[in-house]
Structure 1
Amino acid sequence: MSNIKPTEINLHQASHVLEIAFDDGSRFELPTEYLRVYSPSAEVQGHGPGQDKLQIGKQDVNIERIEQVGHYAIQLFFDDNHDTGIYSWDTLYNLGKNYDELWQKYLDRLKEAGKERPEPEHLKNRA
Protein backbone atom coordinates (compact mmCIF):
# COMPACT_ATOMS: atom_id res chain seq x y z
CA MET A 1 0.00 0.00 0.00
CA SER A 2 1.13 3.50 -0.76
CA ASN A 3 1.16 6.34 1.72
CA ILE A 4 -0.92 8.64 -0.44
CA LYS A 5 -3.83 10.31 1.35
CA PRO A 6 -6.63 12.61 0.27
CA THR A 7 -6.50 16.24 1.30
CA GLU A 8 -9.99 17.08 0.10
CA ILE A 9 -13.15 15.14 -0.84
CA ASN A 10 -16.16 16.98 -2.25
CA LEU A 11 -19.38 15.46 -3.52
CA HIS A 12 -21.13 17.48 -6.21
CA GLN A 13 -24.56 15.83 -6.27
CA ALA A 14 -26.04 18.06 -8.99
CA SER A 15 -23.30 17.09 -11.45
CA HIS A 16 -22.92 13.52 -10.10
CA VAL A 17 -19.19 13.96 -9.48
CA LEU A 18 -16.92 13.11 -6.56
CA GLU A 19 -13.93 15.46 -6.55
CA ILE A 20 -10.91 14.23 -4.65
CA ALA A 21 -7.49 15.80 -4.15
CA PHE A 22 -4.44 13.93 -2.87
CA ASP A 23 -1.35 15.01 -0.98
CA ASP A 24 0.85 14.48 -4.07
CA GLY A 25 -1.02 17.30 -5.84
CA SER A 26 -3.27 15.03 -7.92
CA ARG A 27 -6.91 16.02 -8.25
CA PHE A 28 -9.58 13.87 -9.86
CA GLU A 29 -13.23 14.38 -10.76
CA LEU A 30 -14.83 10.95 -10.70
CA PRO A 31 -18.37 10.51 -12.03
CA THR A 32 -20.65 8.66 -9.64
CA GLU A 33 -21.58 6.18 -12.38
CA TYR A 34 -17.90 5.32 -12.80
CA LEU A 35 -17.46 4.82 -9.06
CA ARG A 36 -20.56 2.62 -8.98
CA VAL A 37 -19.58 0.36 -11.89
CA TYR A 38 -16.08 -0.06 -10.45
CA SER A 39 -17.21 -0.57 -6.86
CA PRO A 40 -14.66 -2.67 -4.96
CA SER A 41 -17.51 -4.71 -3.43
CA ALA A 42 -17.80 -8.47 -3.89
CA GLU A 43 -21.24 -7.84 -5.41
CA VAL A 44 -19.51 -6.09 -8.33
CA GLN A 45 -16.01 -7.60 -8.34
CA GLY A 46 -16.96 -11.17 -7.43
CA HIS A 47 -14.91 -13.32 -5.13
CA GLY A 48 -12.02 -14.05 -7.46
CA PRO A 49 -10.41 -13.22 -10.81
CA GLY A 50 -12.83 -13.16 -13.73
CA GLN A 51 -15.93 -13.12 -11.52
CA ASP A 52 -16.71 -9.42 -11.87
CA LYS A 53 -20.26 -8.56 -12.90
CA LEU A 54 -20.97 -6.01 -15.61
CA GLN A 55 -23.05 -3.20 -14.13
CA ILE A 56 -25.82 -2.00 -16.44
CA GLY A 57 -28.15 1.00 -16.22
CA LYS A 58 -26.12 2.99 -13.70
CA GLN A 59 -25.86 6.23 -15.71
CA ASP A 60 -28.19 8.12 -13.36
CA VAL A 61 -26.91 6.73 -10.05
CA ASN A 62 -25.81 9.26 -7.46
CA ILE A 63 -24.17 9.16 -4.05
CA GLU A 64 -26.45 9.92 -1.11
CA ARG A 65 -23.77 10.06 1.56
CA ILE A 66 -20.15 9.27 2.36
CA GLU A 67 -18.75 7.82 5.57
CA GLN A 68 -15.10 7.60 6.51
CA VAL A 69 -13.79 4.13 7.32
CA GLY A 70 -10.88 4.41 9.74
CA HIS A 71 -7.96 6.39 8.34
CA TYR A 72 -7.72 4.46 5.08
CA ALA A 73 -11.01 4.58 3.15
CA ILE A 74 -14.53 5.84 2.60
CA GLN A 75 -17.78 4.01 2.12
CA LEU A 76 -20.09 5.37 -0.57
CA PHE A 77 -23.84 5.02 -0.20
CA PHE A 78 -25.46 5.11 -3.65
CA ASP A 79 -29.10 5.95 -4.30
CA ASP A 80 -29.66 2.54 -5.94
CA ASN A 81 -29.15 1.00 -2.45
CA HIS A 82 -25.60 -0.19 -3.19
CA ASP A 83 -23.49 0.48 -0.10
CA THR A 84 -21.11 -2.44 0.34
CA GLY A 85 -17.98 -1.09 -1.34
CA ILE A 86 -15.14 0.25 0.77
CA TYR A 87 -13.02 2.62 -1.33
CA SER A 88 -9.49 2.76 0.06
CA TRP A 89 -7.34 5.77 -0.69
CA ASP A 90 -5.28 3.58 -3.07
CA THR A 91 -8.44 2.43 -4.87
CA LEU A 92 -9.68 5.99 -5.33
CA TYR A 93 -6.26 7.17 -6.48
CA ASN A 94 -5.99 4.32 -9.01
CA LEU A 95 -9.54 4.94 -10.27
CA GLY A 96 -8.60 8.58 -10.82
CA LYS A 97 -5.22 7.92 -12.37
CA ASN A 98 -6.58 5.26 -14.74
CA TYR A 99 -9.95 6.86 -15.47
CA ASP A 100 -9.65 7.10 -19.27
CA GLU A 101 -8.52 3.49 -19.72
CA LEU A 102 -11.02 2.02 -17.24
CA TRP A 103 -13.97 4.04 -18.52
CA GLN A 104 -13.25 2.93 -22.10
CA LYS A 105 -12.96 -0.67 -20.92
CA TYR A 106 -16.40 -0.37 -19.30
CA LEU A 107 -17.94 1.13 -22.46
CA ASP A 108 -16.36 -1.64 -24.56
CA ARG A 109 -17.77 -4.30 -22.23
CA LEU A 110 -21.24 -2.78 -22.51
CA LYS A 111 -20.99 -2.80 -26.30
CA GLU A 112 -19.75 -6.41 -26.35
CA ALA A 113 -22.72 -7.39 -24.17
CA GLY A 114 -25.10 -5.66 -26.60
CA LYS A 115 -26.15 -3.10 -24.00
CA GLU A 116 -26.90 0.54 -24.64
CA ARG A 117 -25.91 3.36 -22.33
CA PRO A 118 -28.48 6.15 -22.63
CA GLU A 119 -27.42 9.70 -21.92
CA PRO A 120 -27.70 10.38 -18.19
CA GLU A 121 -30.75 12.44 -17.19
CA HIS A 122 -28.62 14.99 -15.31
CA LEU A 123 -26.72 15.78 -18.54
CA LYS A 124 -29.78 16.23 -20.78
CA ASN A 125 -30.94 19.73 -21.68
CA ARG A 126 -27.68 21.35 -20.53
CA ALA A 127 -27.12 24.72 -22.13
Structure 2
Amino acid sequence: MNSTRGQQLNAAAVDRAFRDLSAGLQETARATERHRQHINRLNQQVFGMNQNPYEQHSKYTSVIMGIGYAGFFALWNQVGSGGSPKLHALAALFVGTSLLVFIVWEIIVMLNSHRARRASLC
Protein backbone atom coordinates (compact mmCIF):
# COMPACT_ATOMS: atom_id res chain seq x y z
CA MET A 1 0.00 0.00 0.00
CA ASN A 2 2.91 2.29 0.73
CA SER A 3 4.29 1.95 -2.79
CA THR A 4 0.89 2.79 -4.27
CA ARG A 5 0.68 5.84 -2.06
CA GLY A 6 4.19 6.85 -3.10
CA GLN A 7 3.31 6.41 -6.78
CA GLN A 8 0.22 8.58 -6.29
CA LEU A 9 2.34 11.27 -4.63
CA ASN A 10 4.92 11.07 -7.42
CA ALA A 11 2.18 11.24 -10.07
CA ALA A 12 0.66 14.27 -8.34
CA ALA A 13 4.06 15.94 -8.13
CA VAL A 14 4.76 15.24 -11.80
CA ASP A 15 1.30 16.51 -12.74
CA ARG A 16 1.85 19.69 -10.69
CA ALA A 17 5.29 20.16 -12.26
CA PHE A 18 3.81 19.84 -15.77
CA ARG A 19 1.06 22.34 -14.93
CA ASP A 20 3.64 24.77 -13.56
CA LEU A 21 5.82 24.26 -16.62
CA SER A 22 2.84 24.79 -18.93
CA ALA A 23 1.85 27.98 -17.10
CA GLY A 24 5.43 29.21 -17.29
CA LEU A 25 5.61 28.51 -21.02
CA GLN A 26 2.31 30.31 -21.60
CA GLU A 27 3.56 33.34 -19.65
CA THR A 28 6.82 33.28 -21.63
CA ALA A 29 4.84 33.18 -24.88
CA ARG A 30 2.73 36.15 -23.76
CA ALA A 31 5.83 38.12 -22.72
CA THR A 32 7.52 37.29 -26.03
CA GLU A 33 4.48 38.54 -27.94
CA ARG A 34 4.43 41.78 -25.88
CA HIS A 35 8.13 42.31 -26.61
CA ARG A 36 7.61 41.60 -30.31
CA GLN A 37 4.79 44.16 -30.46
CA HIS A 38 6.92 46.70 -28.58
CA ILE A 39 9.83 46.18 -31.01
CA ASN A 40 7.46 46.58 -33.97
CA ARG A 41 6.17 49.86 -32.52
CA LEU A 42 9.73 51.11 -32.01
CA ASN A 43 10.66 50.13 -35.57
CA GLN A 44 7.65 52.00 -36.92
CA GLN A 45 8.57 55.07 -34.88
CA VAL A 46 12.17 55.01 -36.09
CA PHE A 47 11.09 54.48 -39.69
CA GLY A 48 8.53 57.26 -39.30
CA MET A 49 11.18 59.62 -37.91
CA ASN A 50 13.41 58.95 -40.91
CA GLN A 51 10.65 59.39 -43.45
CA ASN A 52 8.50 62.06 -41.86
CA PRO A 53 10.71 65.19 -42.29
CA TYR A 54 11.05 64.69 -46.04
CA GLU A 55 7.32 64.06 -46.45
CA GLN A 56 6.48 67.15 -44.39
CA HIS A 57 8.92 69.27 -46.41
CA SER A 58 7.51 67.96 -49.67
CA LYS A 59 3.90 68.64 -48.62
CA TYR A 60 4.79 72.11 -47.31
CA THR A 61 6.60 73.03 -50.53
CA SER A 62 3.75 71.77 -52.68
CA VAL A 63 1.16 73.72 -50.70
CA ILE A 64 3.20 76.95 -50.76
CA MET A 65 3.89 76.66 -54.48
CA GLY A 66 0.26 75.85 -55.21
CA ILE A 67 -0.91 78.88 -53.23
CA GLY A 68 1.66 81.08 -54.96
CA TYR A 69 0.71 80.04 -58.47
CA ALA A 70 -3.03 80.13 -57.68
CA GLY A 71 -2.58 83.65 -56.31
CA PHE A 72 -0.69 84.73 -59.41
CA PHE A 73 -3.32 83.40 -61.80
CA ALA A 74 -6.14 84.87 -59.70
CA LEU A 75 -4.42 88.26 -59.83
CA TRP A 76 -3.80 87.85 -63.57
CA ASN A 77 -7.49 87.04 -64.06
CA GLN A 78 -8.54 90.12 -62.06
CA VAL A 79 -6.27 92.40 -64.05
CA GLY A 80 -7.58 90.80 -67.24
CA SER A 81 -7.01 92.73 -70.39
CA GLY A 82 -6.35 95.95 -68.45
CA GLY A 83 -2.58 95.59 -68.71
CA SER A 84 -0.40 96.04 -71.71
CA PRO A 85 0.64 93.02 -73.79
CA LYS A 86 4.26 93.66 -72.75
CA LEU A 87 3.26 93.44 -69.08
CA HIS A 88 1.43 90.14 -69.70
CA ALA A 89 4.41 88.75 -71.60
CA LEU A 90 6.80 89.85 -68.84
CA ALA A 91 4.58 88.29 -66.14
CA ALA A 92 4.32 85.05 -68.13
CA LEU A 93 8.11 85.01 -68.56
CA PHE A 94 8.66 85.46 -64.81
CA VAL A 95 6.12 82.80 -63.85
CA GLY A 96 7.52 80.40 -66.46
CA THR A 97 11.06 80.99 -65.18
CA SER A 98 9.90 80.50 -61.59
CA LEU A 99 8.16 77.26 -62.49
CA LEU A 100 11.21 75.99 -64.40
CA VAL A 101 13.56 76.81 -61.49
CA PHE A 102 11.19 75.12 -59.03
CA ILE A 103 11.00 71.95 -61.13
CA VAL A 104 14.78 71.79 -61.53
CA TRP A 105 15.22 72.40 -57.79
CA GLU A 106 12.80 69.60 -56.88
CA ILE A 107 14.63 67.22 -59.24
CA ILE A 108 17.97 68.11 -57.60
CA VAL A 109 16.50 67.59 -54.10
CA MET A 110 15.03 64.23 -55.16
CA LEU A 111 18.34 63.05 -56.64
CA ASN A 112 20.30 64.12 -53.56
CA SER A 113 17.80 62.43 -51.27
CA HIS A 114 17.95 59.24 -53.33
CA ARG A 115 21.75 59.32 -53.30
CA ALA A 116 21.83 59.86 -49.53
CA ARG A 117 19.43 56.95 -48.91
CA ARG A 118 21.50 54.63 -51.11
CA ALA A 119 24.65 55.65 -49.25
CA SER A 120 23.00 55.02 -45.86
CA LEU A 121 21.96 51.52 -46.93
CA CYS A 122 25.49 50.51 -47.92
Q: Which has the higher strand share?
A: 1
TM-score bracket relative to the smaller structure: under 0.3
TM-score normalized by the length of structure 1: 0.20
Higher Rg: 2
Higher RCO (CA-CA < 8 Å; seq separation 6+)? 1
TM-score normalized with structure 2 length: 0.21
